[in-house]
């Protein structure tokens, strides 16, 4: 019996003797199976020729990304707080070296994920750190491919990840109904950072962001959904914005970047 992992998206599945017939996340129009068809691996196989690069990004923030790139190349972020560390988003690979690197930074107290394309190995990661809670929005629970007792479905528009951590989950919707971002008031030297996955995505020109229903299939997001995203993050102060991939950063003036990017986007689709 194995917990098979979908190669195109990185989602790990409930234990089975044979690979699942399909990955529902990849069969959905927001993702893709790819020209080689549905492919599967296991954690043991993945660990044979991949590793996690654990790199400091700024004080209190560490990036964790698998090399060579796997699935959609996701990057997780480890955020250090006085009441415990939080893993924002996730990757499929977890091994002894990664556990040791996280423990050296103070361990892990909780996990939170933006949307199903980053669900990946959340159950495996949680178990590696003693069953820490994993916060997922209830609107996306149908996409969980490996149920686990550690998964906690939160509801509503905002949630505190850990009591007194200052970290706030904000449901934005858009990309998925439960798509959320994480506000870290201590980020960017105390001027605040927003970690977004690709609920809000950082584009090639790092002064801008954008919004899509499906990035690989270029399906745009409607005007009402974009306005909702902007309104959801408006109460929060953030000078910096981190997307879901290595190097996807709006380094400064990120609040204004979100507003002007939304105005540009809406100006195009409402012509």
Q: What is the pLDDT of residues 223-252, one digit of tens each?
A: 999 999 999 999 999 999 999 999 999 999
* Phi–psi pair at 149, nearest 5 degrees: -65, -20
Distance of CA 191 to the CA centre of its chain: 22
Write the pLDDT tens digit of every residue in 113-143.
999 999 999 999 999 999 999 999 999 999 9
pLDDT at 80 > cutoff 90 = yes
SS3 232: helix
CA distance 8 to 10: 6
For position 146, what pLDDT does the model report? Answer: 98
CA distances from 114 to 47, 69, 169, 243 (A): 25, 20, 9, 11
The structure tokens 């996306």 sit at 140
Of 19-28, 33-42, 182-191, 224-233, minimum mean pLDDT range = 33-42
Query: With contact defined as beta carbons under 8 Å apart, do 235 and 241 qualify?
Result: no
Contacts of 39 (CB under 8 A, 6+ apart): 6, 7, 8
CA distance 19 to 39: 9
In this prediction, residues 186-194 reach a mean pLDDT of: 98
For position 36, what pLDDT does the model report? Answer: 85
For position 270, what pLDDT does the model report? Answer: 87
Range of the structural domain that residue 14 is part of: 5-269
For position 129, what pLDDT does the model report? Answer: 98
Strands (E), the chain: 5-6, 40-41, 51-58, 61-67, 75-79, 86-88, 110-112, 134-137, 151-154, 158-160, 168-171, 180-184, 193-197, 201-202, 209-210, 212-214, 219-220, 240-243, 249-250
CATH of the domain at 257: 3.60.15.10
In this prediction, residues 165-180 reach a mean pLDDT of: 97
For position 245, what pLDDT does the model report? Answer: 97
In this prediction, residues 190-209 reach a mean pLDDT of: 97
Cis peptide before 149 (omega within 30 of 0): no
User: Please, which pLDDT band fits residue 28 given cuts at 50, 70 and 90?
Assistant: very high
Alpha helices in the chain (DSSP H): 24-27, 43-49, 96-104, 122-128, 187-190, 223-233, 254-269
CA distance 5 to 196: 24
pLDDT at 271 > cutoff 90 = no
Per-chain mean pLDDT for the chain: 97
Q: How many domains does the chain have?
A: 1
pLDDT at 34 > cutoff 90 = no
CA distance 209 to 259: 9
In this prediction, residues 55-75 reach a mean pLDDT of: 98
pTM over 0.85: yes
């Amino acid at each position: 019996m194995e917990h098979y992992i979908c190669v195109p998206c990185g989602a790990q599945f409930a234990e089975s003797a044979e690979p699942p017939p399909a990955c529902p996340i990849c069969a959905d129009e927001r993702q893709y199976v790819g020209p080689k068809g549905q492919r599967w691996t296991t954690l043991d196989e993945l660990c044979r020729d991949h590793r996690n690069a654990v790199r400091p990004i700024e004080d209190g923030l560490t990036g964790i990304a698998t090399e060579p790139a796997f699935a959609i190349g996701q990057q997780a972020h480890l955020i250090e707080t006085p009441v415990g560390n939080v893993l924002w988003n996730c990757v499929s690979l977890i091994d002894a070296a990664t556990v040791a690197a996280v423990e050296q930074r103070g361990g892990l107290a909780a996990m939170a994920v933006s949307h199903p394309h980053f669900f990946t190995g959340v159950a495996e990661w949680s178990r590696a750190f003693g069953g820490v809670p994993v916060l997922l929005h209830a609107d996306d629970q149908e996409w969980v491919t490996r149920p686990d007792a550690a998964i906690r479905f939160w509801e509503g528009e905002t949630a505190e990840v850990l009591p007194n951590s200052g970290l706030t989950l904000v449901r934005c919707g858009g990309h998925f109904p439960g798509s959320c971002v994480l506000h870290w008031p201590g980020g960017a030297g105390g001027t605040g950072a927003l970690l977004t996955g690709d609920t809000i995505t950082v584009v090639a020109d790092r002064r801008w962001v954008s919004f899509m229903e499906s990035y690989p299939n270029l399906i745009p997001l409607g005007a009402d959904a974009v306005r909702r995203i902007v309104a959801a993050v408006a109460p929060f102060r953030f000078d910096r914005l981190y997307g879901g991939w290595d190097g996807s950063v709006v380094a400064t003036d990120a609040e204004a970047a979100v507003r002007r990017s939304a105005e540009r986007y809406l100006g195009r689709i409402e012509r």
